[in-house]
Amino acid sequence: MSRIPRSMEATSVGEAAAVARGRRSLPNGLWGIALFIATEATMFGAIIATYFYLRFKHAGWPLDGIAPPKPALPLAITAALAATTLPMLLASRAVRAARRGAAVGWILFAMAVQCGYLAVQIVLFSDDLSRFTPDQNAYGSIYYALLGASHFHVLVGIVLSGWVAARLLAGVTNYRVVAVRVISWYWYFVAAVTVAVTLTQLSSSL
């Protein structure tokens, strides 16, 4: 019994890394985020299913002669956002290997790209709004509902990343190591959802 680690007492970089190495199954926090992702993915599944349900109700899509979205820029920035999974992966590796500085650096690097993605998306969103509105017809409604849900998730991710980076700067505990891994998993999910959402959004022009 003495060999069983008391994970929560790990309040330094080295101890937290040792706990992470000694564990045989995923910590509770990762199970929590995995199930959260499952429910969120189902939510996006329902929204995307609604998009195609409405799309296949109609011979012409987008409705009322609205021009389909231009694909080049959304595809490019979505690829950039998807690529931020790599620095997030490296951050959670680094924090488990007791390299706090590297972890914070990777998180901040990913955040910069994610903020750029969100900024471009907001510009595109308001451009779209000047062409057609959600109260115009069902295409507009589901288009903005889909993108709004996706962008909100990116915003939440950025807030979480900023918070965990600040916490790491104040010191490393087992709790924060798990938090970095949880937030990385959240970002893997957001990246996957963004790809799915962008492909759905562009399905009328591809």
Partner 1 sequence: MATVASPEAARRVYRLERVWRERPGLLGWLTTCDHKRIGILYLFTSLAFFAAGGVEALLVRTQLITPNNTLLGPEKYDQMFTMHGVTMVFLFVIPISIGAFGNYLVPLMIGSRDMAFPRMNALSYWLFLSSGIFIYTGMFLGHGANAGWFDYVPLASKQFSPGPNIDFYALGLIFNGVSSTAAAINFVVTIFKMRAPGMSLNRMPLFCFAFLAVSFALIFALPPLNVACGFLELDRRLGFHIFDVTHGGDALLWQHLFWIFGHPEVYIIILPAFGIATSIIPTFTQRRMVAFPLVALAEILVAFIGFGVWVHHMFATGLPSVTLIYFAAASLIIVIPSGIQLFAWITTINTGRPRFATPLLFIVGFIVFFLLGGLSGVMLAAIPFDQQITDTYFIVAHFHFVIFGAAVFPILGGLYYWFPKVTGRMYHERAGHVSFWLTFIGTGLTFFPMHILGLIGMPRRQYTYPGGMGWTGYNQVETIGSYILAAGLLLIVANLVVSYLRGAPAPANPWRGATLEWATSSPPPDYNYPVIPRVTSAYPMWDELDREEDSRNLTRGEMVLDEGHETPASTVLDADWDEILEMPSHSPWPITLALVASGVFLFLLLGHWAVAAISTGLVFVVLAAWHRQEPQEA
CA–CA–CA angle 201, 34, 141 (5° rounding): 25
Q: Are 69 and 101 in contact (CB under 8 A)?
A: no
Q: Pick out residues in 6-25 that bind partner 1 (CB under 8 A).
A: 6-9, 11, 19, 22-25
Choose, by CB under 8 A, the member of 14, 21, 46, 129 that binds partner 1: 46
58 near partner 1 (CB under 8 A):
yes
Choose, by CB under 8 A, the member of 179, 183, 191, 197 that binds partner 1: 179
Output the smallest distance, CB 8 to partner 1, in A.
Answer: 4
125 near partner 1 (CB under 8 A):
no
Q: Pick out residues in 131-170 that bind partner 1 (CB under 8 A).
A: 134-142, 145, 159, 163, 167
Residue 178: closest CA among 95, 102, 101, 97: 95
Read out DSSP for 176-197?
Answer: HHHHHHHHHHHHHHHHHHHHHH
Residue 158's alpha-carbon distances to 65, 97, 101, 153, 184, in angstroms, are 36, 24, 19, 9, 11
Q: Which is nearer to partner 1, 52 or 206 (CB)?
A: 52
Output the smallest distance, CB 155 to partner 1, in A.
Answer: 10
**Residue 125 has which token pair?**
């969103």
Residue 99: closest CA among 168, 162, 51: 168
Residue 146: closest CA among 62, 59, 87: 62
Choose, by CB under 8 A, the member of 42, 86, 122, 127 that binds partner 1: 42
Choose, by CB under 8 A, the member of 21, 43, 70, 86 that binds partner 1: 43
Would you tell me how many other CB atoms lie within 10 Å of the CB of residue 80?
A: 14
The radius of gyration of the chain from alpha carbons, rounded to an integer in Å, stands at 20
192 near partner 1 (CB under 8 A):
no
Residue 157: closest CA among 4, 36, 12: 36
Output the smallest distance, CB 124 to partner 1, in A.
Answer: 20
Q: Which is nearer to partner 1, 23 or 70 (CB)?
A: 23
Q: Which stretch binds partner 1 (CB under 8 A): 30-38, 70-78, 109-117, 183-191?
A: 30-38
Output the smallest distance, CB 123 to partner 1, in A.
Answer: 20
35 near partner 1 (CB under 8 A):
yes
Distance CA 91, CA 196 (A): 25
**Residue 66 has which token pair?**
């609205």
Contacting residues toward partner 1, per CB under 8 A: 1, 4-9, 11, 19, 22-25, 27-28, 31-32, 35-36, 38-40, 42-43, 45-47, 50, 53-54, 57-58, 63-64, 134-142, 145, 159, 163, 167, 173-176, 179
